[in-house]
Structure 1
């Protein structure tokens, strides 16, 4: 999953002879990259903030150290912990990878028992910074698991890059509308509606909408080890 727009240059650290980079992004574009599009659920902001603070402090990490490990600015991490900013999908993946936790750990809710009904209008959605990629979790986060289930929507001609997931992670994806190209290393596969693919997701991969209409996909992600 998740992912920065194709062709985006990775940020590089300052040279030793240069002064350290400022804590906060220097332009509106930098903030736009880290802050989620309006389509993302606003009620996720305080939830992610609480989980991030708890998981960071459990590991004895300062905001500065986590910023260096994740590539997310210290200022943005502070805003997330305060519940004042909703991060993009890509930013959550970066933080989760730096903390060594599954993506869902940062958006988990309190436990409930028995039947779980997740109404569409109450679902929590995560979006890319421009809103071209939207992910909706179709499972609760409060029980140990190795499998997660997502609905993904990718705008026409949009591209979403996903960083490598933990070793052994598998993605099983089916396209239900539109057409999507999946790129994994040197492999490229175009899927039309009804086509499915299973691949190892522990290397960087790309979702590319090759059509003129929005695409909808359903993703089953399987981890090598139990999470949650």
Structure 2
């Protein structure tokens, strides 16, 4: 199974486990019913921003959708993809985090919808200079620098240079609420 098939099967399985229609999934995620159907049928490859919306709406870790089968590691081609997200450590249910390596092509912008309440994100630039918009304000994160912020507010990643930016993102999810 390739990564696109993995995504299609995972999305459909999560939706069906909840007993949701595509209409309900669209309401919960803010992604159109048509797009969700295309993803489930493996007819469309969603953007990273769309996947974040889906993961947030389903209240599941982002890496659940992009952890590729072992034989299909992501290859980065800045000519074809503005942003490539590769899991370094897959979702850890006990520690409640995802850890990603992200490549952002020259001139690329990725806007992130708010994650679930209580999410904290740590970004460390490996090479290049990353621009981050947090609380409506742009700031630069140079190679070797890091930034910690509340991921439950809209934020954005931008590469305003002519070189690819490589950064890591460690995302901590809040503890599950116990039924009471």
**TM-score, length-normalised on structure 2?**
0.83
> In the alignment, which residue of structure 2 is the partner of 1:46?
5
1:86 to 35, 39, 45: 45
1:211 aligns with 2:155: no
| Aligned-residue RMSD, C-alpha | 2.8
**Corresponding pairs, count:** 175
Measured in 2, the distance between the counterparts of 1:171 and 1:191 equals 14
1:174 to 89, 114, 124: 124
> In the alignment, which residue of structure 2 is the partner of 1:60?
19
Go from structure 1 to structure 2 and tell me whether the alpha carbon gap of 1:142 and 1:197 turns closer, same or farther (over 3 Å shift): closer
Question: Is the Cα contact below 8 Å between 1:109 and 1:142 reproduced in 2?
Answer: no
Shift of 1:140: 3.1
Measured in 2, the distance between the counterparts of 1:108 and 1:70 equals 20
What are structure 1's unaligned runs of at least 5 residues?
1-41, 111-117
Question: Is the Cα contact below 8 Å between 1:181 and 1:208 reproduced in 2?
Answer: yes
1:188 aligns with 2:138: yes
Structure whose residues are more often strand by fraction: 2
Shift of 1:217: 0.5
Question: Is the Cα contact below 8 Å between 2:129 and 2:159 reproduced in 1?
Answer: yes
Give a deviation string over 1:173-198, Cα, whole Å, max 9, x none.
11121111111113332121111111
Alignment of 1:146-185 (within 5 A): 146-185=96-135
- What's the secondary structure of 2:46's corresponding residue? coil
Shift of 1:85: 2.8
Shift of 1:82: 2.4
> In the alignment, which residue of structure 2 is the partner of 1:223?
173
Measured in 2, the distance between the counterparts of 1:94 and 1:127 equals 24
Measured in 1, the distance between the counterparts of 2:121 and 2:22 equals 31
Question: Is the Cα contact below 8 Å between 1:157 and 1:212 reproduced in 2?
Answer: yes
Go from structure 1 to structure 2 and tell me whether the alpha carbon gap of 1:145 and 1:86 turns closer, same or farther (over 3 Å shift): farther
What are structure 2's unaligned runs of at least 5 residues?
none
Measured in 2, the distance between the counterparts of 1:88 and 1:80 equals 11
- What's the secondary structure of 1:140's corresponding residue? strand
Query: Which runs of structure 1 show a deviation greater than 6 angstroms over 4 or more consecutive aligned residues?
Result: 125-128
Question: Is the Cα contact below 8 Å between 2:121 and 2:149 reproduced in 1?
Answer: yes
2:32 to 73, 84, 101: 73
